Structures are given as structure tokens and as C-alpha cells.
Chain A
Amino acid sequence: MSPSFTSASTLDDALAAVASGARPVAGGTDLVVGARQGKAPLPQDIVAIDRVDGLRSLEVSDAGVRLGTLVTHGDIVANADIRDRFTALADASAIVGSHATRAQGTIGGNVMNASPAMDTGGPLLCFDATVTLRSAAGERTIGLDALWTGPGKTSAAHDELLVAIDLPAPAPGTGSCYVRLEYRRQMEIAVVGASALVVLADGNVTAARIAITALTPTIRRVPEAEAALVGTKAEADAVRAAARAAAAAATPISDVRGSAEYRRAMAEVMASRAVTAALTRARGGSVPIPASPAMYGAKES
């Protein structure tokens, strides 16, 4: 049978296509590369969803932010409210791929690709993001820990499309940061990544979220690391204990980007940097998003 390609203009058309076996493509930044690297052949039947109406909205409210599945990394970093309130997510989207990747690549495709090294994964976990999956039969909303089941694997059924990602508003006093170890400024995949979110009240840490990237089969939070910070004044000892606990949860692999031993050694360093930067931001200090406004891949809004 010869391959087919259709372009859906409505969500119903897209859902019907995936229900009949077509695989979706949005920004296209992972699909062809994945096929060439032998991860999975190009699907026989492809449905492009990048022109479906209404899926590229980015809705900011007091309750939080809703990212339509087609929102690009460029859109995310260009949004002043995300940079201000969901800073770690802006950190991540600012360094995904190159400006070409950020102009085409979507948050929905990024999440459904389920890479253990994806930059936005840790920040989304720290912000307690939920994803809404829709099929012709209806929709359901689940947490990312229930979505990601392994490297490149999700719990979504083949006829389900991710349509939106919701991030509840962070508490007052929140600071967050994502950092990655890299060999190259762009078109890089995290060798090791770490995300941190802290909530400060009168100098005390009242809540913390720490997630590790490229260190476990799926990106995950480390409750032991979070517990090492909560209830402290985030002194150097507490930060060190949290970073150590984060590193202790790492079960890295060796690959072309780094050995397991190196990754394990760097996990504590990166976790410490993420926590320290999140604390600085929570205290009102400046830690720039790792790209200038001109690098956002879209005009500032």
C-alpha cells in the first residue's frame, strides 16, 4: 500500500483520521528525524494537524495558563506572563533546538514524543501540569506522570490527540528554573537537566518541586529532594542535601552524549544550580532566561 498524507482543518477531521490509523504530525521537527535515525519508520498514513483551527491558543488567566497543543516554543518564550510566572518553562522553551525548531516545534508534539531528555518536561512536572487527551469518544485529563510510561512511550491510545496542557497558577512567592548541561548552544539535547520550583514565605521554603531530566527512563520529580528543602530557610546545607537527593534518584544510561558515571556526577551539580537559581528568582533577584529577547523566535508580546 502506498503512503498517504492528509491535512486536517478541523479537530473532528483530525480525530477521525487518527481513529482510522493515521499518525499525527504537527511541527514535524521530530517525525522525520526519528525515522531517519531508525527509531520508527515514517508512518504509512500521516495526518497533519498544524492547521487545525483553535489549537494554537495560549490562554492566560488568574487561574493559570492553558496551552493549546499547537503552541510553539517560540510562542511560549514570547509570552511575558509565562516568562514572569512560569519562568522555568520559558527557560526550557528558549533553548529547545534552534530558532527553526522553536518556530515550528509545538508543545503538544514535544510532550507526546515523551523523550526522557526533553527540556520542557521537568518544568511542566514542577508546575503540576495536566494534559487533556481527546478522541472521537470524548476526553480525559491526566497528569504527566500518568502520561509518560517509558522512553518515547505514553499511555495515550492511538485514537487520542493531546489537545491542551493546563498549568495552575503558582503560589505567591514562587521562583522556578530549568538548567541543562550542554555541549553546544543550539540543536542540543540535554546531557543532564534539572528543574526546581520553590515557594518562599518570610524566607522559609513552604513548598518545593525538583525534577530530573535525561537521568531516568521518564522525566520525574524527586520527592526526597523536595522534602530536603521544605521547612528550611534554604541555607547552603539544605540546598546541598536536596541536590544530593536528586542525584541519588538518577539511573542514567551511557550513550553518545555522556557516560552514566558522568551523568550521575553532574546530576548533583545541575540540581544545585536549578535550586539556587529558583531561590534567587523567588527572592526577586535576576537570573536571565538563557536567551535574549531577540532569540525568542517570535516577537515579544
Chain B
Amino acid sequence: MRVAATLTVNGASYPVELDPHVSLLRAVRDELGLTGSKEGCDDSECGACMMLLDGAPVNACSYLAMQAVGREVTTVEGLAGDEEVGPLQRAFLQQFGVQCGFCTPGMLISATALLRSNPDPSDEEIRIGLSGNLCRCTGYDGIVKAVHQAASGEVPPLRGAPVHADATPPHHAG
């Protein structure tokens, strides 16, 4: 039987009815429709589902949604604020820290938590800090560079037109 509960995600309150056994990841994706966080291993190994819970990282695939009631949840959708994408996200794009993009939401959340506890991490600290997040495309170098760039505070705006999810790729034009 589902029970009534309220989840607070990215500053918004969502009244929902939850199965007491449902994971935070499933609730946020299926009930709230916020599909930025990904299900990779569904076993706390890959980090693709990572969210912040009252500012601290959590593997949302393995956390009961009911335990998040009354806490502030942050997903990748909440990282940019009023901007289209935030500086950390821009750095990931500019340093080629994104290829297929599946690990990216978890990487961004993990890197956000890392930079809050350590605003100027070394290469080694970034690699250890993000080693709970697996990436099968980039080889990690671009991701490490992106976190360095975000830490430097010097991330230029993206070149060209703003990126919209519904923009038609140029090679499809005409």
C-alpha cells in the first residue's frame, strides 16, 4: 500500500504517494519525472544515481525514498540555479568531460560535494573523490580537468547559441 509523503527536491515540494520499499532514485525519476539521475548498476557501485541529501552525497538507488522525507534532496537538475548550466557543468562540456553522458549527472553531483569539502583539490584528490563514480567513455582525464577548471573559478561562457534540449542539430537542418 502506498503512503502519502512529501519529498523536497531542488527546493520544490512534491506531494507523492510512495511504496515504503521504493528507492529514492525510482521515486524521483518515476513519480516526480526528474530523469536526470540515472540508474546504472542499481547496486551502489557506479554512482550514476548520486544525489545530495541535506548537502551530503547519497547513492539514491540504494536509499529508501521514505528516509528522504523532511530532507532537502538535490539532483543534477538543481545544480544550475537560474543559469542554463552552471560553471561546473560548463567546465565538463569545455574539457570534454562528457561523452555518452550517462555518468555525468552523478559525476556532477559527486564533484559538487567534493568541491564543497575541498575547494582546491589536487589531481589525486579529485581521482579519489570521484572514484565512486564510474565512466566508461572519457578515461576520466577530461573530468579531472573539468573539476580543476571549476575549482579555479575561471570558466568562460559557452560559445555560440544557448543549448536547448529541443534544438535541432545543424546537420539535420534543411
Contact = CB atoms under 8 A, between A and B. Distances in A.
Interface of A: 2-5, 7, 25, 28-29, 31-33, 36-37, 42, 46, 48, 50-51, 74, 97-101, 103-104, 184-187, 291-299
A292 B124 contact: yes
A104 B23 CA distance: 15
B62 interface: yes
B72 to A, nearest CB: 14
Given A5-B66, A98-B131, A104-B58, A296 B47 contact: no
Given A3-B21, A29-B63, A74-B56, 11 more contacts: A3-B20, A28-B62, A36-B62, A46-B64, A48-B64, A48-B67, A99-B113, A99-B114, A187-B44, A292-B128, A297-B117
A185 B127 CA distance: 9
Question: Main SS of the interface on chain B?
Answer: mixed
Nearest to B61: A32
A271 B45 CA distance: 27
A293 B62 CA distance: 26
Contacts of B57: 98-100, 103
A42 B21 contact: yes
Interface in B17-52: 19-21, 23, 42-45, 47, 50
A31 B66 CA distance: 13
13 contacts: A5-B3, A5-B64, A5-B66, A7-B69, A29-B62, A32-B23, A36-B62, A48-B66, A98-B132, A100-B113, A104-B63, A292-B125, A295-B118
The winner among A7, A25, A28, A296 for most chain B CB atoms within 10 A is A28
A7 B66 contact: yes
Contacts of B122: 292
A142 B60 CA distance: 34
Contacts of B67: 7, 25, 28, 48, 50
Contact of B117 (A29, A37, A296): A296
Given A29-B62, A100-B59, A184 B131 contact: yes
B155 interface: no
Contact of A32 (B50, B62, B117, B131): B62
A103 B125 contact: no
Given A3-B21, A4-B20, A294 B125 contact: yes
B125 A29 contact: no
Nearest to B65: A5
Interface in B42-95: 42-45, 47, 50, 53, 56-59, 61-64, 66-67, 69-70
B149 interface: no
Contact of A294 (B53, B63, B64, B129): B129
A33 to B, nearest CB: 5
Contact of B132 (A4, A33, A99, A299): A99
Contacts of B1: 2-3
